[in-house]
Amino acid sequence: MDIRQGKILVIVNPAAKRCEAERASYHARHILREKLGAVNVDVVQTTAPGHATFLASGVAGEYASVITIGGDGAVHEAINGLMQIDEKNRPAFGLIPVGSGNDYARTIGMLEDVEAACHQLLVAQTRPYDVGKVNDEYFVETLSFGLDAAIALGTVEARHHTKKTGGALYFEVGIDQLLHHLDHHHVQATFDDERSIDTTAIMFAVQIGPTYGGGFKICPDADPADGMFDICYAEGKWSVPRAVAAFARAKNGKHTKLRGVKFERASKINIKFDVEPPAQSEGERITGSEFDISMCPQALQVFVP
């Protein structure tokens, strides 16, 4: 389908990227209403965490499409709302990226310019993309535990008192984490009820798309529509210099052949930690020490340019 088929709800996170999303929403609203007709485009701003989930969960039968203006956190909330709607009635999803990391935008090919992204949406067609589920929460790009989760959560916190964004901030927080908080975690994981590991790791990433942290290519070959998770973990004991070197190489996906860096692919994963680790999904903190992860293959129609 294309974006002209039915009404559109635009959900704006006005706080995204230091409030740039609020300004961007006025520009996007003008373009979309001019091209599609004012009666076909409704725009709502979120007012609190979880509001986008609430809004998206109640649109079945009223809107054919839901467009989010914001970053990966806004995407995460909207997807969790849409996935509460049965697949037959689930609206298509589109994104105008105005965030700090924009990893999902990078995966689906949306440009980080409001006018350009609007024009991409106007000619886009939907494609069925994968959605992951961890315990009771959905995700579309990244889920991670240990070091990379601590860096992601630290980056979100650092945005509140710095003007830096994206990969530069992620890298800065990452180096600080590596130098001062390089923790090793005991992890047991089973992949597709067939293969198991029982090991020590500093990080464990489960990806649908290839990047996290504003463009770090942690799983360079990940395909968001193949029905499989791509998993990367750093096994064994790591010294600080070795971990720093690997982290730097991961920016461009050049870590894949390093000793101790392991990869798996699976559609179902169970992970257990002996102590609750830092854990995040699209920059949102999750809690627990055991995680059941399953794939919802091609469960979401996404506007792709």
**pLDDT per residue rounded down to tens, the chain (305 residues):** 889 889 999 999 887 766 777 888 889 989 999 999 888 999 999 999 999 999 999 998 899 999 999 999 999 999 999 999 999 999 999 999 998 889 999 999 999 999 999 999 999 999 999 999 999 999 999 999 999 899 888 887 776 666 666 667 778 888 888 888 899 999 999 999 999 999 999 999 999 999 998 889 999 999 999 999 999 999 999 999 999 999 889 989 999 999 999 999 999 999 999 999 999 999 899 999 999 999 999 999 999 99
With 0-12 / 13-18 / 19 or more C-beta atoms within 10 angstroms meaning exposed / middle / buried, residue 68 is: buried
Q: Note the pLDDT of residue 76.
A: 96
Query: Which amino acid is it at 80?
Result: N
Q: Which helix (H) or strand (E) holds 117?
A: helix 114-123
Give the global pTM: 0.92
Number of neighbouring beta carbons within 10 Å of residue 106: 20
Backbone angles phi, psi at 180, to 5 degrees: -120, -15
The tokens describing 138, both together, are 């959905």
- Taking the C-alpha atoms of residue 108 and residue 129, their distance in angstroms, rounded to an integer, is 9
* Domains, the chain, with CATH or none: 8-123 (3.40.50.10330), 142-298 (2.60.200.40)
Q: Note the pLDDT of residue 260.
A: 96
Q: Note the pLDDT of residue 171.
A: 81
Cβ proximity of 124 and 303 under 8 Å: yes
Cβ proximity of 11 and 69 under 8 Å: yes
Hey, which residues does 201 pair with through a beta bridge?
185, 235
